[in-house]
Chain A
Amino acid sequence: MHSSRLKQVRRGMAIGLFVLWTVVPIIFMISSSFKGTGDIFTLPAIGDWWGLVKFLFFFSASLTQFKEIFLHGPFLAHLLHSIAATALSVIISVPVGLAAAYALSRARIPGKKHIYFWVISTRMAPPIAVMVPLYVMWQTFGILHSLVGLVLAYVTFNLPFSIWLMRGFIDAIPSELEEAAYVDGKSRLGAFVDIVFPLIRPGVGATVILCSMFAWNDYLFALILGGGHTKTLPIGIGELASATSILWGQIMAGGLVMIIPMVVLGLIIRKSLVTGLTMGAMRG
């Protein structure tokens, strides 16, 4: 039995190491955001591990960085732009995607396979390649560096995603349920609203959260198609690091403000997160 005990210990140590490697950057970020500007840089002497623990956990906390970003500078405006772009892209993508997903799931459509391929390949396209024609198009239509342009750009990845994901959720609902409702004299829309929707509501919720996450976390589209008067958070945070000075404290604090809502939402749907991120290929 001695060797199995040893195995347990080794197993625990391996897991512990992986957990450490995963959480240390996050802890470092949190502690850096709650420090005064000078304190961020006061690492202990090389080799002083206890000093390092003190550096990460026991320090004089201050809200300087948060005050700085919220009270001075354009952080709040960037936050609002991020919220607007995210919300609008979800408001377009999810309802439109839901209707399409229902049709694809229930109807016999000629050439359905081609529609699937189109949807999935749109989703798989590398953002930077998509950006080239979009940039020229947006320029031509005068929506470059505007909120409309940014929202439409987010729809290019959120709409295919929500169609694909929600189709999977609807496929899992037997269509006999709706047919019974038709017998009772319900219309197709009525049956959808009264019977299908309540059953897939958790799936729709997960789709909303994942789409929000993709739009909220986006950097590349915001960098190239956004900007101007519609700078979003990722761009705003990037601008705190200029060629002459890097405001590390504010970057960490701003980053924390940016990731907290997504971590909370992600943990709320943790059961469907794997299903969502594998586009339904895997049931979590």
Chain B
Amino acid sequence: MSRTNASPISMTTPGPAGFSSAAPPSPLYQRLVDRFPWYVWWLSPAVIILAAITLFPFFWMIYISFMKVQFAPGATDMFVGWSNWGKMFLDPSVYTGWWLLFKYVATCMVLQMGLGLGIALLLNDIKREGLIVTVIMIPMMVAPVVVGHLFNLLLNSSYGLYAWIFKTLGIYSSGSLLSNPSTALWALVGMDTWEWTPLIVLILLAGLKSVPRDTIEAAHVDGSSPWQVFINVTLPYLRPSLLIAFLLRFMDCMRFIDNNLITTRGGPADATNTLPIYLYFKSFREFNIGMGAVIGFTLLVAIIICALLASNILLKEQKGENHA
């Protein structure tokens, strides 16, 4: 029964939990162990924990989205039907939130992918590549909370180093970039770019190592220009890494709001009030948890659809690679 295994050789070898078939008459424990295939025992702790802290909350969130949740002692939650959902669709801040999130993610992606690709190409195969890579890796390991406070100080108009440099170069001199509604979102993009472009560089550098050197040399010998070599030789080999870097960063830009929450907190004048930030304020400042659940659910579903698409694209890409 459960003793069958994927490979023929294990038919003659110990069964489920490894007890030999010649073992003495099995006690209750042994019978219990034998009752299920071996993997059930290895897998169930993780499945039980994950179900309790991810699947269960997911359904609870759907339930909450139809309730008015009350935290006052003695007060019970009230069923309100589709009211939270209706309110969400009529709330202009939700639409602005999606739009700002889109602007933020799109700018981050264009900037980081472009910069990351450029730096990776420049760094590939130079002397001291290892040392430089080690140095530029550091921002990735800095806690977001520290990044937030650090840039708050760097951009501070009276004693921030970056504000000083901007003034000296004559680029910008009116206060902190973070406290100006027309620049705050771009300052956040800059912070994210500072922290995470190195990851893109690392991914692309790993990808560049897969480009066969003799093919490039052959193309050069054939008289192709560097640009032609890049388009026709390097880029096809780099495609999977570019895709991975893009999808990974895209998902993370959508999900994480730490920098925003520490520096601008959605402000000034709602200029950085992206959807996840709006969700934070609705749920944990106004304690309108029902509304929070509705917005959270839509955000979660949108991101899971993106993740599904992403993993499908990646799988296809990898299959294509195997055929080639």
* Residues on A facing B (Cβ under 8 Å): 11, 14-15, 18-19, 21-26, 28-29, 32, 40-41, 43-44, 46-47, 49, 52, 56, 92, 96-97, 99-100, 102-104, 106-109, 115, 117-122, 124-137, 139, 152-153, 155-156, 159-160, 163, 175, 179, 182-183, 185-191, 213, 216-217, 219-220, 223-224, 234, 237-238, 241, 248, 251-252, 255, 258-259, 262-263, 265-267, 270, 273-274, 277-278, 281-284
Contacts and interface: CB of A to CB of B under 8 A. Distances in A.
Main secondary structure of the interface of B (DSSP, over half): helix
Contact of B138 (A23, A49, A121): A23
Given A32-B153, A136-B64, A237-B146, A43 B292 contact: no
Interface residues of B, number: 103
Main secondary structure of the interface of A (DSSP, over half): helix
Interface of B: 6-7, 9-10, 12-14, 16-20, 37-39, 42-43, 45-47, 49-50, 53-58, 60-61, 64, 69, 71, 115, 118-119, 122-123, 126, 132-146, 149-154, 158-159, 161, 164, 167-168, 194, 198-199, 202-203, 206-207, 241, 244, 248, 251, 254-258, 261-262, 276, 279-280, 283-284, 289, 292-293, 295-297, 299-300, 303-304, 307-308, 311, 314
Contacts of B295: 129
B194 A132 contact: no
A262 B140 CA distance: 10
B168 to A, nearest CB: 5
B153 A248 contact: yes
A187 B14 contact: yes
A160 B307 CA distance: 15
Nearest to A140: B60
Contacts of A43: 159, 161, 164
A152 to B, nearest CB: 6
B64 A132 contact: yes
A259 B143 contact: yes
B13 A100 contact: no
